[in-house]
């Protein structure tokens, strides 16, 4: 390779490293109806990867500029790709129902508000994708205010999912979407309080 003396910067390929890369997707549809993607790989080479700029291509198409983090041998590498236009998400409120239950005595009666949401993921790519859907579920630190998850059934959640829901109020669900197909995911929860007490935001 010849480097001239005109003061211009020159790029030179020093080495080519190949890693097995997995594409991950995540969306928080209650905040933004957008699916974000990231590339994840393990540094299986014999040298640490240096911090630097990266140009990201997906299916042969330039996607974005990103930053390659310093990654020691054997450690996981993660590069943000940004919004994936090939995978879309739409969330809507299917039903909002108010009811009350309890005995004749008003001190035992409770008001209930049930929300049902439907999220639809559409995969326009030629390969299947897995999208981590993060849903916000109300949390309560009051004995009077009770939040009950209806769907998905609490018994179907893993211990890790239950912990994240209890501590952070975030329900995570990994949804698989076949090539050129759609997948639906429903969330339903009920918030209850003693009769006459206003449930703010509900």
Residues 105 and 177 in one domain: yes
Rounded CA gap, 186 and 118, in Å?
A: 5
* Amino acid 116: pLDDT: 95
Same domain for 96 and 185: yes
Same domain as 123, residue 57 = no
Domain membership of residue 1 (yes or no) is no
Q: What is the pLDDT of residue 196?
A: 65
pLDDT at 141: 75
Give 122: exposed, middle or buried? Use CB within 10 Å, 0-12, 13-18, 19+. middle
Q: In whole angstroms, what is the distance from residue 147 CA to residue 174 CA?
A: 23
Please report the pLDDT score of residue 93 as a whole number.
94
One domain for residues 120 and 180 = yes
In a domain, 7, yes or no: no
Side by side, which strands form the sheet with 110-123? 87-101, 110-123, 181-194, 146-151
In this structure, the answer to whether residues 69 and 158 fall within a common structural domain is no
Q: How far apart are CA 39 and CA 77, in angstroms?
A: 8
Domain that holds residue 126: 89-194
What is the pLDDT at residue 145? 82
- 132 occurs within a structural domain: yes
> What's the total number of domains in the chain?
2
Residue 127 lies in a domain: yes
* 57, 95: one domain: no
Q: Which residues contact 119 (CB under 8 A, 6 or more apart)?
A: 29, 89, 90, 91, 133, 135, 184, 185, 186, 187
Domain edge (last residue) among 63, 83, 103: 83
Say how many CA atoms lie within 13 Å of 66 toward its Cβ: 19
H/E stretch holding 168 reads helix 159-168
| Spans in the chain with pLDDT lower than 50 | none
Read off the pTM. Answer: 0.73
């Amino acid at each position: 390779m010849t480097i001239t003396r005109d003061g211009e910067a020159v790029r030179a390929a020093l080495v080519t490293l190949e890693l097995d890369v997995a594409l991950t997707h995540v969306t928080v549809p209650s905040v933004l109806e957008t699916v974000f993607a990231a590339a994840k790989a393990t540094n299986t080479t014999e040298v640490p990867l240096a911090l630097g700029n990266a140009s990201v291509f997906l299916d042969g198409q330039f996607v974005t500029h990103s930053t390659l983090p310093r990654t020691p041998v054997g450690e996981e590498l993660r590069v943000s790709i940004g919004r994936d236009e090939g995978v879309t998400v739409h969330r809507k409120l299917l039903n909002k129902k108010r009811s009350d239950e309890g005995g004749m005595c008003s001190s035992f009666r409770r008001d209930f508000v049930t929300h049902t949401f439907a999220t639809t993921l559409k995969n326009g790519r030629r390969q299947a994708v897995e999208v981590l859907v993060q849903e916000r579920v109300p949390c309560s630190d009051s004995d009077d205010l009770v939040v009950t998850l209806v769907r998905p059934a609490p018994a179907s959640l893993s211990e890790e999912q239950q912990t994240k829901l209890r501590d952070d109020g975030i329900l995570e669900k990994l949804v698989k979407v076949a090539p050129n197909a759609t997948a639906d995911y429903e969330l339903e929860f009920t918030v209850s309080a003693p009769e006459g007490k206003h449930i703010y935001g509900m």
